[in-house]
Structure 1
Amino acid sequence: MAAGILYITSIKWEVHSHGERLQRAHQNDSSRGQDILKRLEKMEAHIEKLLKSINKGISLKEGQAVKAPEVKKKRKVVKKLYPNSALFTSWGDELSEEEQKEAEGLFQMYGYNAFLSDRLPLNREIPDTRDPKCAKHQYPHDLPTISVVLIYLDEALSIIKRAVRSIIDKTPQHLLKDIILVDDHSSNEDLKEKLDAYISFIHEERPGLVKRVRHKEQLGLTQARLSGWREATGDVVAILDAHIEVHVEWAEPLFAQIKEDRTLVLTPVFDKVNFDDLTVTRNVPAADTFDWAPWCMYEPFRPEWYALIDESNPGKSPSIMGILVVDRLFFGEIGALDGGMKIYGGENVELGIRVWLCGGSVEVIPCSKIAHIERAHKPYLPDLSITMKRNALRVAEVWMDDYKHNVNIAWNIPTQDHGIDIGDVSERKKLRERLNCKPFQWYLDNVYPMLDPLGDLLGYGALVNDLKMDLCIDQGPLPWNTPVLYGCHYFGPHVCRNIP
Structure 2
Amino acid sequence: EKNSRRGFDEKAYLSSKLLKAGEDPYRQHAFNQLESDKLSSDRPIRDTRHYRCTSVRYDTDLPATSLIITFHNEARSTLLRTVKSVLNRTPPSLIQEIILVDDFSSDPEDCQLLTKIPKVKCLRNARREGLIRSRVRGAEVATADILTFLDSHCEVNSEWLQPMLQRVKEDYTRVVSPIIDVISLDNFAYLAASADLRGGFDWSLHFKWEQIPIEQKMSRTDPTQSIRTPVIAGGIFVIDKSWFNHLGKYDTQMDIWGGENFELSFRVWMCGGSLEIVPCSRVGHVFRKRHPYDFPEGNALTYIKNTKRTAEVWMDEYKQYYYEARPSAIGKSFGSVADRVEQRRKLNCKSFQWYLENVYPELKIPEKELIPGIIKQGGNCLESRAQDTTGNTLAGMGNCKGTVNNPPVTQEWIFSDPLIRQQDKCLSITSFSTGSQITLEACNQKDGRQKWKMKGSFIQHFVSGLCLENQTGRVVTNPCQAGVPGQQWELLQAT
- How would you bin the TM-score normalised by the shorter chain? 0.5 to 0.7
Deviation at 1:455, TM superposition (A): 4.6
Corresponding residue of 1:248: 158
Deviations 1:371-403 (A, max 9, x none): 000123212137521111111111111011111
In structure 2, give the amino acid aligned to 1:407: Y
Matches within 5 A, 1:221-236: 221-236=131-146
Corresponding residue of 1:354: 267
Say which of 279, 298, 312 aligns to 2:189: 279
In structure 1, give the amino acid aligned to 2:309: R
RMSD of aligned C-alpha atoms?
Answer: 2.0
Say which of 307, 314, 332 aligns to 1:420: 332
Residue 134 (str. 1) matches residue 53 (str. 2): yes
SS in 2 for 1:375: coil
Matches within 5 A, 1:80-91: none
Please say if residues 293 and 389 of structure 1, whose CA atoms lie closer than 8 Å, have aligned partners that are also in contact: no
Deviations 1:404-428 (A, max 9, x none): 12111121237xxx33111110000
Deviations 1:129-188 (A, max 9, x none): 11111111111110011011111111101111111101111111111100000111111x
Corresponding residue of 2:91: 172
Corresponding residue of 1:399: 314
Deviation at 1:311, TM superposition (A): 2.3
In structure 2, give the amino acid aligned to 1:390: K
Residue 288 (str. 1) matches residue 199 (str. 2): yes
Say which of 120, 143, 146 aligns to 2:39: 120
Q: Distance in 2 between matches of 1:157 and 1:101?
A: 15
Q: Distance in 1 between matches of 2:22 and 2:91?
A: 36
SS in 1 for 2:25: helix
Deviation at 1:229, TM superposition (A): 1.0
Corresponding residue of 1:368: 281
Deviations 1:326-347 (A, max 9, x none): 0011110011111111112110
Larger radius of gyration: 1
In structure 1, give the amino acid aligned to 2:334: I
SS in 2 for 1:413: helix
Residue 384 (str. 1) matches residue 295 (str. 2): no
Please say if residues 102 and 115 of structure 1, whose CA atoms lie closer than 8 Å, have aligned partners that are also in contact: no
Instruction: Give the TM-score taking structure 2 as reference length.
Output: 0.68
Please say if residues 103 and 115 of structure 1, whose CA atoms lie closer than 8 Å, have aligned partners that are also in contact: no
SS in 2 for 1:429: helix
In structure 2, the CA distance between the partners of 1:458 and 1:402, relative to structure 1 (3 Å rule), is farther
Q: Distance in 2 between matches of 1:160 and 1:281?
A: 19
Say which of 222, 232, 235 aligns to 1:320: 232
Matches within 5 A, 1:179-218: 179-187=98-106, 189=107, 192-193=108-109, 195-200=111-116, 202=117, 206=118, 209-218=119-128
5+ residue gaps, structure 1 = 1-98, 460-498
SS in 2 for 1:213: strand
Please say if residues 269 and 368 of structure 1, whose CA atoms lie closer than 8 Å, have aligned partners that are also in contact: yes
Say which of 341, 352, 357 aligns to 1:440: 352
Residue identity over aligned pairs, in percent, reads 37
In structure 2, give the amino acid aligned to 1:374: F
Instruction: Give the TM-score taking structure 1 as reference length.
Output: 0.67
Please say if residues 392 and 407 of structure 1, whose CA atoms lie closer than 8 Å, have aligned partners that are also in contact: no
In structure 1, give the amino acid aligned to 2:177: T
Deviation at 1:308, TM superposition (A): 2.1
Structure whose residues are more often strand by fraction:
2
Residue 260 (str. 1) matches residue 170 (str. 2): yes
Say which of 158, 169, 176 aligns to 2:77: 158
Corresponding residue of 1:92: none
Higher mean Cα deviation, 209-218 or 374-383?
A: 374-383
Corresponding residue of 1:410: 325
Corresponding residue of 1:49: none
Higher mean Cα deviation, 285-294 or 241-250?
A: 285-294
Please say if residues 393 and 422 of structure 1, whose CA atoms lie closer than 8 Å, have aligned partners that are also in contact: yes
Please say if residues 50 and 224 of structure 2, whose CA atoms lie closer than 8 Å, have aligned partners that are also in contact: yes
Q: Distance in 2 between matches of 1:441 and 1:376?
A: 34
SS in 1 for 2:362: coil
In structure 2, the CA distance between the partners of 1:376 and 1:102, relative to structure 1 (3 Å rule), is farther
Q: Distance in 1 between matches of 2:209 and 2:223?
A: 16
Corresponding residue of 1:488: none
SS in 2 for 1:179: strand
Deviation at 1:102, TM superposition (A): 3.9
Q: Distance in 1 between matches of 2:217 and 2:241?
A: 28
Please say if residues 180 and 212 of structure 1, whose CA atoms lie closer than 8 Å, have aligned partners that are also in contact: yes
Deviations 1:253-292 (A, max 9, x none): 0011011100001111110100010001111131111112
Corresponding residue of 1:22: none
Say which of 430, 454, 464 aligns to 2:366: 454
Please say if residues 266 and 326 of structure 1, whose CA atoms lie closer than 8 Å, have aligned partners that are also in contact: yes
Please say if residues 305 and 315 of structure 1, whose CA atoms lie closer than 8 Å, have aligned partners that are also in contact: no
